[in-house]
Copies of this chain bind each other. A is one copy, B any other.
């Protein structure tokens, strides 16, 4: 067994519109996928409303606990965009107008269009560095281990693509999936035994209903390719021994 380098993250989605159901969040799923690809383990996600105390408490709880925190939402020009000031309060630093952010906004807007409301988007907590916004100029920022990004998925994704190369991932979690035509309950006992034997792997069982057929996806995840292969073979043999048909989805870094 080799040492595993584990890097962790949390996502904090900020916005009343998610909690009211008006907007369906798409950022959490995107970040979950991309972080996993980078070898960063998303360990928690939270959605909080546009309430300063809630945002501040969540930022402080998550940044103390995980290697990285990624926030989405609340960095536009209107009164309900309060993420930057809340992050400043969470870090106990003043909120400053960032000269480079002002310059980018000046370059983006037509003369006369850069009003005070839009200039608010240049406010960054002291010590923060900018995160590029190739879509609509107004930047996000990073302070400490917290990355503050836009809520609009297209902008958030572009911001994340920009910062991804700066993130230090740990050992990648490899994943293998065995699909079978057996019910979860049929395979549960044997699968539990395999999970106990390969306790350093994560073994998940997910029922599905596809193309008119019920089945179960058995997902094995871990950083040690050899152990993963051995456990996957054990699951395949288990399925066949129970009279099922096993399919193996191609290996990927999940």
Q: Report which A residues bind B (CB closer than 8 A).
A: 16-25, 28-36, 41-50, 54, 76-81, 113, 115-118, 120-121, 152, 154, 173, 175, 184-189, 191-192, 195-196, 202-207, 209, 219, 221, 254
A78 CA to B115 CA in the complex, in Å?
58
Interface centre among A22, A50, A254 (most CB of B within 10 A): A22
Checking B46, B79, B154, B206 against A195 with a beta-carbon cut-off of 8 angstroms, the contacting residue is: B79
Q: Are B20 and A76 in contact (CB under 8 A)?
A: no
Which residue of B is nearest A187, CB measured? B78
Q: Is the CB of B44 within 8 A of A32?
A: no
A235 to chain B, nearest CB (A): 12
Q: Within 8 Å CB of A173, what residues of B? A: 20
A188 and B42 contact, CB distance less than 8 A: no
Are A184 and B78 touching (Cβ within 8 A)?
A: yes
A47-B44 contact given A80-B203, A118-B188, A185-B115, CB 8 Å threshold:
yes
Question: Which listed residue, B44, B54, B185, touches A48 by the CB 8 Å rule?
Answer: B44
